[in-house]
Structure 1
Amino acid sequence: MNEVKMINHFSVSSLFVEIMFNEVILACGTAFYYCCDGTIYLVSNWHNFSGRHPETKKPLHSQLAVPNKIKVYGHNLTDLSIPELHIYNLLDDENGCTWFEHPIFKSLIDVAVLPVPKSNLNTFDISSAINAIDPYGNSPVEVGDSLFVLGFPFGISGTYNFPIWKAASLASEPALDQENLPLLYIDTATRQGMSGSPVISYRRRTIMCGDGQRCWSKFHSTFVGVYSGRITPKDQLEAQLGKVWKAHCIEEIIKGASSPVFL
């Protein structure tokens, strides 16, 4: 009999992606699914979907190529060890973007969402959407809390394409915005390939036992936001701070349904 292996829900939700022009791989990163009003969206960074720098709008690729497809390495519904590949178009037949950016801040918020075609909805479990994972209730985060960035540093993954859980700590007050944007800072040494990773708080909670003694049981889990890269230090001795866009940005983008236009 095959041994049953228990896999964390969040490990299933974080997905390795390749950003492509036709069949040419331009870059790799991380993405995840998000469910809103019965529609599934693929969420990642603006710079992943566009292949451009979010401030200058210039192509990031050395050959100035920009992507028109994204390949998602998902998991089979009945056997998580079997890869389930999906390729989504980032551009339509007229080279218009099929994905959405923030309706107000545009690329200044480095988050983008791609509606998943309805024909693909029967190929993955809706419960793998990041906001459907809440088995034990949310717990508010505070500055100094331990967090995890679930991604693929340098394209490295765990067995069966599950993400690496990179430890971090919340380095700014969550009630405040940084740079006048819905942005948090985290203290962590992240690497290329983790752009678009979900950032979560995942910690044990205490419950009162029948004899009045506290004991550890299960977990609080909170989806905090979307990782999008580091604040580049001048040298290796400086603090390594990462940028995390607050979770509420995703539904603002979905409701705004604003597609970028590149001239």
Structure 2
Amino acid sequence: MKEIIVSNVTLSTAMTLAFCDDIEISRSTGFIWSSDGQDFLITNWHCITGVNPLTGKSLSKTGARPNHLTMALATTQFGVKFALDLPLYDAEGEALWMVHPTAGEQVDVVAIPIQGEFRSTEETKRSLAKPFNELESKRHEAFVGDELMIVGFPRNLHIHGLPLFKRATFATEPNLYKDEPSFRHESSHRQVWVDCATRQGMSGSPVIHVKRSTILRPLGSPQEYDDLLDSYSFYGIYSGRVVDPDEDPRIDDQFAAQIGIVWPKPLIERIVKEGVRDRFRREDVFEKTIEGIPIAPRDIADRRDPGSSPG
């Protein structure tokens, strides 16, 4: 059989399916991250709550809320996925995921602990997915206009269950984001914007910074031309568009679809190391949504442990 070469980035990017009991609510993207022996699923807050973190409103017309996720992971058997099921709430209805220690869901990123060490059983060992922070990559300095790849499942599209790579560029300066105490509700200070035509299903996608380097061969060498060497580094996680025409049909789709939000890697690292367990309760928001009472972002965001320090 001919050897098949597939990128580790491809194999380590998973489609995530959100369920309310046995009913599928939505699909998005996620990936695994490892820290101090604990593995996490990294995805977006809005993907697992069904709530817009900026408005507090339901993303579903039915008001449905997920209570568990399934990750579809690539395996050693081509085209066959391993389904890893992750509960979102404990027996008391408390959220199991971790959020930013001070900004909460205003940083639209969560880390869901995977119970037990990943690939600890014979079944999970079949998975080819690896924690993204353990993939071999090269660190590059990032500049506005640099090329990126957003890896995910736009409109649930895939071939053999594997993700698509969507080309993007930095639309804002990638080194000016700040994760500071004063930015409690000003989430844009922590974001980097990218120019890319993205669609639903790509929330939670890993963002790869692609760098093209040139090696100059000396005259008289076997290759007297420049060799382009492509390498990559993990930059962050995509969470959606700055303005979403899918939520408001009055918005010009041609423009709105082009500007996306990326949360840089240090935010993920802070969440897995210093994050707090979210105090979001599925039934609380569900009841208020049914009654037609809107929930302000602060109502959700301030559900932190009283002892947590601002910032």
TM over 0.5: yes
Instruction: Quote the offset at 1:206 in angstroms.
Output: 2.9
- Out of 114, 133, 138, the residue aligned to residue 135 of structure 2 is 133
Q: For 2:253 and 2:161, locate their aligned partners in 1 and report how far apart those are by CA, in whole Å.
A: 30
Q: Is residue 229 of structure 1 aligned with residue 230 of structure 2?
A: no
Q: Is residue 196 of structure 1 aligned with residue 207 of structure 2?
A: no
Q: Deviations over 1:137-180 (max 9, x none)?
A: 2222211011111010111112x211010111111111112855
User: Which range moved further: 186-195 or 110-119?
Assistant: 110-119
Structure 2 CA distance for partners of 1:131 and 1:80, relative to 1, 3 Å: farther
Overall identity of the aligned pairs, in %: 30
User: Which range moved further: 170-179 or 95-104?
Assistant: 170-179
Q: For 1:247 and 1:191, locate their aligned partners in 2 and report how far apart those are by CA, in whole Å.
A: 22
Q: Where does the alignment leave 5 or more consecutive residues of structure 1 unmatched?
A: none
In structure 2, the partner of 1:81 is 79
Q: For 1:255 and 1:228, locate their aligned partners in 2 and report how far apart those are by CA, in whole Å.
A: 21
In structure 1, the partner of 2:295 is none
When the two chains are superposed, the root-mean-square deviation of aligned CA atoms in Å is: 2.1
Q: For 2:153 and 2:129, locate their aligned partners in 1 and report how far apart those are by CA, in whole Å.
A: 21
Q: Where does the alignment leave 5 or more consecutive residues of structure 2 unmatched?
A: 179-186, 246-250, 285-311
Check conservation: 1:183, 1:245, Cα contact below 8 A: yes
Letter in 1 for 2:70: K
Q: For 2:154 and 2:2, locate their aligned partners in 1 and report how far apart those are by CA, in whole Å.
A: 29
The alignment partner of 2:66 has SS state of: coil
Q: Deviations over 1:174-208 (max 9, x none)?
A: 11128553211100110000000001023443335
Q: For 1:106 and 1:53, locate their aligned partners in 2 and report how far apart those are by CA, in whole Å.
A: 13
Q: For 2:165 and 2:112, locate their aligned partners in 1 and report how far apart those are by CA, in whole Å.
A: 24
Check conservation: 2:96, 2:278, Cα contact below 8 A: no
Letter in 2 for 1:186: V
Check conservation: 2:35, 2:273, Cα contact below 8 A: no
In structure 1, the partner of 2:111 is 113
In structure 1, the partner of 2:259 is 241
Q: Deviations over 1:67-123 (max 9, x none)?
A: 1100110022x3343211111101111111111111111111100011111165321
In structure 2, the partner of 1:30 is 29
TM-score (norm 2): 0.77
**Higher Cα Rg, which structure:** 2
Q: For 1:143 and 1:134, locate their aligned partners in 2 and report how far apart those are by CA, in whole Å.
A: 24
In structure 2, the partner of 1:182 is 190
The alignment partner of 1:196 has SS state of: coil
The alignment partner of 2:155 has SS state of: helix
Alignment of 1:1-263 (within 5 A): 2-76=1-75, 78-118=76-116, 120-122=118-120, 123-124=124-125, 128-135=130-137, 137-158=138-159, 160-177=160-177, 180-207=188-215, 209=217, 211=221, 215-216=226-227, 218-232=229-243, 234-238=251-255, 240-262=258-280, 263=284
TM-score (norm 1): 0.90
Report the count of equivalent residues.
259
The alignment partner of 1:222 has SS state of: strand
Structure 2 CA distance for partners of 1:237 and 1:12, relative to 1, 3 Å: closer
Q: For 1:237 and 1:50, locate their aligned partners in 2 and report how far apart those are by CA, in whole Å.
A: 28
Check conservation: 1:140, 1:222, Cα contact below 8 A: no
